[in-house]
Amino acid sequence: MPNPPDTEGAPALRVLVPSMDAGSVDDFIRVARPLSVEPFAPARMAFLEALSRTLLAHPKLRRDPAGASLGFWLRRAHLAALESDFRAQAFAGRRVAAGLVFHVAPANVDTMFIYSWALSFLAGNSNVVRLTTRMSPLMADLLACLDALFIGKPDGCRGNLFVTFGHNDEVAARLSAACDLRFVWGGDDTVLKLRATELSPHASERSFASKRSLSVIAAGAYLAADVQDRGRLADRMAADMAPFGQMACSSPQTVYWAGGKRDCDRALADFDRRLQRAMAAKLGEADLGWAVRRLNSAFSSAADGAAEQLTHRQHVTQVVAISPERAEAEVPCGVGLLTHARVKSADAVVALLRRSHQTITYFGLNDAERDGLAQDAGRAGVDRVVPIGRALDFGPYWDGYNLWDDLTRLVVVQ
């Protein structure tokens, strides 16, 4: 799939999938809404399963961590789990598809457009998905897989369209006026810009603004863990950091070590070595551009007086901040840079949190500590408290919302 030109003001709207017999977007809008089906329709389950098989057999995608994760997410067992979760939603009447959903997918997470669409597809909706004009090779491969399936099963998935267009308010306005739900994946600028574009009076919107995420590790628990557990933890951290250049909103940018100074320093030194190895295993050959970006970011933090120590190595650059406040104030660098700070106890991070925080990944907290943190951090703005290694697991409860509620309408039956 060729990269579309990303020129100033280019309004050109291109239908990416299905590539055959696309017709115009206006034609699509006219017919799409009535094509919604009942939630978890067997044909749609079968379609996503087929997509899963395609991805997991794809020579490139099955080797790509993000592509493989998506393939697993779409496999039958997980779809069944999603269905039971959906059926368990307490409502005495009927849940029906919301209708036509307009998705504005993010540019930073290449696979997000499929997750967003798949959840809505399962809920029975018709969908139009707007992708960034700056297509990555991974996105192009995913689209090609989708397209092949669409061509094979044109009936199973009518009412679904994947498009791209540049900064074009007119196209965005038409789709916004036509849809029943607008799903907008941030940044903040995108969310605010689209919020000014009117929806139908009957439609609603769910927007996912810019977020940042962090990790909390109990230093004592880390030091008490055996080498296998430490190695596994490093692998899981790498799984949370390596995809998408660490720029997914859920990938941690900062790590707070809870405990005394000596324990924290020892734990970080040990963790650093293991994380370098784990990242090398995930990423293979290190990227020169990334290394220079990490180097510049770390030295800039030092020059700002925010860092007391920095170490730059093959895959990971570690910056130790002078305080937790300074750590959380650093602009995310991504691409393998972690900013560390010490805290007396895990709940000390609560004071750092804002509404723009999303995920806390943790290690070494007992259930009571975790639940206490979830309560206080949640009130401060955090939406997810999950073990290290699950930062990127997408699900129907996201950014604090029950997406099943967004994607369906409730019909009272008495």
**Stretches 67-75, 85-93, 178-186, 345-353: which one binds other proteins (CB under 8 A)?**
178-186
The CB-of-360 to other proteins minimum distance in angstroms stands at 17
- 256 in Cβ contact with 348 (< 8 Å): yes
**Stretches 49-57, 153-161, 260-268, 304-312: which one binds other proteins (CB under 8 A)?**
304-312
Compare residues 75 and 312 and give the one whose CB is closer to other proteins: 312
Compare residues 200 and 300 and give the one whose CB is closer to other proteins: 300
Relative to beta strand 94-97, strand 384-387 is unpaired
Cα separation, 179 vs 29, whole angstroms: 8
By CB under 8 A, tell whether 167 contacts other proteins: yes
Cα separation, 41 vs 156, whole angstroms: 10
By CB under 8 A, tell whether 106 contacts other proteins: yes
Of 288, 340, 338, the closest CA to residue 314 belongs to 288
Relative to beta strand 397-398, strand 401-402 is antiparallel
Exposed / middle / buried, residue 313 (Cβ in 10 Å: 0-12, 13-18, 19+): middle
Q: Which long-range contacts (CB under 8 A, 24 or more apart) does 206-210 make?
A: 206/181, 206/182, 206/401, 206/403, 206/406, 207/182, 207/183, 208/106, 208/183, 208/184, 208/249, 208/398, 208/399, 209/356, 209/399, 210/186, 210/249, 210/356
- Among positions 243-302, residues that touch other proteins (CB under 8 A) are 244-245, 247-249, 286-293, 295-296, 298-302
By CB under 8 A, tell whether 323 contacts other proteins: no
**Contacts of 197 by beta carbon, 8 Å cutoff, 6+ apart:** 169, 172, 173, 176
The CB-of-253 to other proteins minimum distance in angstroms stands at 11
Compare residues 69 and 132 and give the one whose CB is closer to other proteins: 132
Compare residues 77 and 288 and give the one whose CB is closer to other proteins: 288
The CB-of-137 to other proteins minimum distance in angstroms stands at 12
- 136 in Cβ contact with 163 (< 8 Å): no
- Among positions 124-163, residues that touch other proteins (CB under 8 A) are 130, 132-134
Count of residues interacting with other proteins (CB under 8 A): 62
**Stretches 310-318, 365-373, 378-386, 405-413: which one binds other proteins (CB under 8 A)?**
310-318
Residue from the set 334, 349, 350, 365 that interacts with other proteins by CB under 8 A:
334
Q: Which residues bind other proteins (CB under 8 A)?
A: 6, 8-10, 104-108, 130, 132-134, 166-167, 172, 184-190, 192-194, 210-211, 244-245, 247-249, 286-293, 295-296, 298-305, 307-310, 312-315, 332, 334-335
